[in-house]
Amino acid sequence: MGNKTMMMRLIDVALIILLGFIAISRLKTEYIDLPAAGDAQPQTDRVATAVLHIYDNHYDYVMNGRKKRTKSVAELERVLLGSKSNLLRRRTKLVVNIEPHKSSIMQNLVDVLDICQRNQIEKNFDYDRIN
């Protein structure tokens, strides 16, 4: 009878150890995404807002009362990147308010959204004009 009770105690110990490993393996581990060396962005203190009017055949970019008219998507991208880099030097973040005109086509809006996403430019929409 002594061997049977000793065997029962070893099984109990083995089950307790097994349940301990199962409990530990289910612990949720949290990871922190640290920025890579090349992804470092300068600290921005202020926000500058620009308005981008989208028409059928051109774009009007208005910032600080100055209006720049561009005819192509590539030219618009250069203007947006230039504004963004100038503002980042002054520790200011660029936010573009997108206002499509009724005559604009949807592809023009999609092109502007692609430019903003590709260059990490924040954007706002005038939803009343999109509908």
pLDDT digits (tens, 9 = 90+) for 39-51: 556 666 788 899 9
Q: Domain tally for the chain?
A: 1
Tell me if 125 is assigned to some domain.
yes
Domain that holds residue 88: 44-130
Which pLDDT score, from 0 to 100, does residue 41 have?
Answer: 63
Burial class (CB in 10 A: 0-12, 13-18, 19+), 82: exposed
Q: Is the pTM of this model over 0.85?
A: no
Residue 70 has pLDDT above 90, yes or no: yes
15-44: per-residue pLDDT in tens?
999 988 887 776 666 666 676 666 556 666
Tell me if 17 is assigned to some domain.
no
Tell me if 22 is assigned to some domain.
no
Mean pLDDT estimate for the chain: 83
Tell me if 5 is assigned to some domain.
no
